[in-house]
Every structure is written in structure tokens, then in C-alpha cells.
Amino acid sequence: MFTGIITDIGRVTRVALQGDLRARIACGYDMDGVDLGASIACDGICLTVVDKGADWFDVDISAETLDKTNIGASGWAEGKPVNLERALRVGDELGGHIVSGHVDGVATIVEAHREGGSLRLTFEAPAHLARFIAPKGSVALNGTSLTVNEVAGDRFGVNLIPHTQAATTWGAARTGDAVNLEIDTLARYVARLAEAG
């Protein structure tokens, strides 16, 4: 489990096909404190550390993950920055919301504009996921816990303050970018209960 509070910006340094796709990500984490088999959310995708060095780790990316995430939509090229978060430990502060790292689909940035120091983004979600997104609810976008400002059909908006832009990859967001979307777990269960009732 994760919180959607990004703790590092990694960089893809190698991508190779080794059965599954294997990616190497350079990071600022003390890798002595990260075990093989540990989970790290990479742009919101829960991936398993399969090898590591002093300032990098490798992950394997399955065909299912490629199909459901922006890795398959836009690819991970060498040099690509990615939002990173280590798994939540008992006793850690829950500053965002509960995030599983199981990406539901890919949203697209359809509008971006500045409002003071903030960046306002409008996304288009896949139709089958849009019904789970509500104003003032939470979503995880590229692993970042964000509050939904408004919803209109399949589109929804968020506001990114300067700190979020600086501490994540969001400062470089552009119209047309494909973004990993994980809907709020609570919204999923509320919708399921409504269907059953």
C-alpha cells in the first residue's frame, strides 16, 4: 500500500526485453534499506525490486502492466523521469489517501493552464472509470494523491500547487500526456454497493 505522497523522482536509465520488460531506475533512496522483493510505486505502478545497486533498482514489467498503464501507451524511454514512493510501513503518516499501486487505466491531459503559481489540468478518463471520479474526491495520477476539483462527464480537473510541481514530475506536464489513473478504493466499493442495492 502507498499514500500517493511522492518521495523521490527517479529516472529510467535502461530498458530491455528479458522475457518481460526490465527497467532500471536511478533514484535517491538509500538502497541498503530496500530489500529485493520490496514494492516501489513507479509513476503509480506497484513494481517489485528484482535487482539493485547503490543508487538504482531494476523492475520487471509484465504484458498485463504494459496493457493497463502509460508504459504501454507511451513507453518508458531512457531518461524518462518517474514519480517514486516506497511502500507504506505501519506507523507512517498517511498524508494522501490509500493507494494500492494497481493502475485502473490511462487518462489523458486535455487542457493545461497556469493560475498564479498553480497548474490547472483537465483530464479525460476512460468512460468505464469516469463514474468513480467525484468532485472533492481523491484520485492517484502517476502515483500522486490529488483532489478532484470538478467533473464534467468523462473529464475532471485538478490543481497542482507549486510544491507538488517541484516535488514530482508534474511540473513538466503537457497537453496530450498519457497518465496512470487509479481510482479511489472507497469510490469503487461505494459504487459496487450501489449496484447491489
- Three-class secondary structure of residue 52 per DSSP: strand
Mean pLDDT (the chain, rounded) = 92
Taken in order of first residue, the domains within the chain and their CATH numbers are 8-86 (2.40.30.20), 105-196 (2.40.30.20)
pTM of the shown model = 0.93
By the 8 A CB rule, do 146 and 170 touch? Answer: no
**Residue 192 confidence (pLDDT):** 64
Query: Could you tell me which residues come within 8 angstroms of residue 89 by beta carbon, excluding any fewer than 6 positions away?
Result: none
Q: What is the mean pLDDT of residues 164-168?
A: 97
Among candidate residues 5, 150, 176, 188, the one with its CA nearest the CA of residue 88: 5
Alpha-carbon gap, residue 113 to 132, rounded angstroms: 25
Q: For 53-93, how does the pLDDT look when each residue is reduced to its tens digit (9 = 90+)?
A: 999 999 999 999 999 999 987 778 999 999 999 998 766 67
**Residue 189 confidence (pLDDT):** 65
Rg of the chain taking only CA atoms, in angstroms: 16
Residue 35 CB coordination number (10 Å): 9
Among candidate residues 129, 90, 84, 87, the one with its CA nearest the CA of residue 106: 129
Find the Cα–Cα–Cα–Cα dihedral 183, 89, 82, 23, rounded to 10°.
-110
Query: Could you tell me which residues come within 8 angstroms of residue 193 by beta carbon, excluding any fewer than 6 positions away?
Result: none
